[in-house]
Amino acid sequence: MTTPLPPRMVADALWLLTARSRGGKHWVSNVTADIHAVDIAGHSYPVTLLTHSDWQESYVASPRSTWLRYARHELIRHVPPALANVVKAGSCLIFGPLSALMRASKLDQAAIIGNYLISTNLYPEWHSDDIAEMTSVMCGRHHDIPLMIRNICPEVSPALMENLQAQGWKMMPSRMIYLCDPSEKQVWKRNHVKQDAKLLVNGDVEIVRQCELHLNDLTELRDVFRQLFIDKHSHLNPDFSPAFFELCLETTFLELIGLRWQGRWVGVLGLYIHPESGWLTTPLIGYDTGLPQELGLYRRLMAILLSEAKNRGCRLHYSSGASQFKRARGGVPALEYTAVYDQHLPTRQRKATSLLIKLFQQFAPTMLKRADQL
């Protein structure tokens, strides 16, 4: 008798099969990328190749959006309107040279491995031999562009980072993330955690599990996701398509949980559970931003997230953003990197890559740590 594949593998395989034939835009509306595949340790993983680059491309597929567009957008968004034009002009002095280096290195055209077009990809602890084999295959396919792997963090997967570096991969700082171990009793003694948990008890907002959701609920759930992720925060966040929400409902690629209040959908959470690594994260979260803050929709969603991680015996990857909020709920800051491989490229291109990585290694950690304290 054939052993059935685990749900995680089935969902990933369906995502990849469809993306290879229809492109990244099928799953994420603001990603114009071809999707290929590469085998690592006996499993197929996606490889994203950006086919078009403009100011709308999401950071999950565009390195230029990851390091330049998103940073500039956040810088301008957090200054008073009266200073916005001054900051825009001044930012050109910083981002102009960085953009030129990115163009020379072709990092903005990199082949991104293991990229499911979500904010946080989670990986097994690939061995050095598996990484060496994959690197050789990818260099043969992409002899003129760098290779890249997003979301590498020593606190999340220490052996993976060490094994990549042993094979010549370089680490480029990308963002500050927040990690939590719900099995630690101290987490549950925090006042904010206790207060959030109380919100779930009174039952005024209904928690609706995946098994209770239907296709005709997805349009409204996508709307509340877009209110927070796209409209309030940034058009550079991944704008998950209607087809992606259907995939989640059918396969639990992300396990959906909805919040319903007075008969309408007011919140949504998508759990990404990675059994091999023992981590749980949420690449999809949203709520009705027009409702009073006193309703505590975001607090409710994060309380559900923390509770789900504890109940499933997983460590919690809070991802990035909302630093003080997440620290108050047990989140410990950690620096995340993007792994870059360029040893197969011409000398001039490698020099541009090395200079760009060195600049980020020198300045990005300090800037990200300062932002964490704001």
Output the pTM of the full model: 0.94
Q: Does domain 180-332 have CATH number 1.10.10.10?
A: no
What ranges do the domains of the chain cover?
7-175+337-373, 180-332
pLDDT score, position 53:
74
Phi and psi, residue 141, nearest 5°: -80, -35
3-state class of 331 per DSSP? Answer: coil
Q: What are 297-352's pLDDT values in tens digits?
A: 999 999 999 999 999 999 999 999 888 999 999 999 999 999 999 999 999 999 99
- Residue ranges with strand state E in 17-126: 33-40, 43-50, 111-113
pLDDT score, position 89:
56
Q: What are 132-162's pLDDT values in tens digits?
A: 999 999 999 999 999 999 999 999 999 999 9
* Non-local CB neighbours of 248 within 8 Å, separated by 6+ positions: 254, 255, 256, 270, 284
Q: What is the CA radius of gyration of the chain?
A: 21
Helix (H) or strand (E) holding 41: none
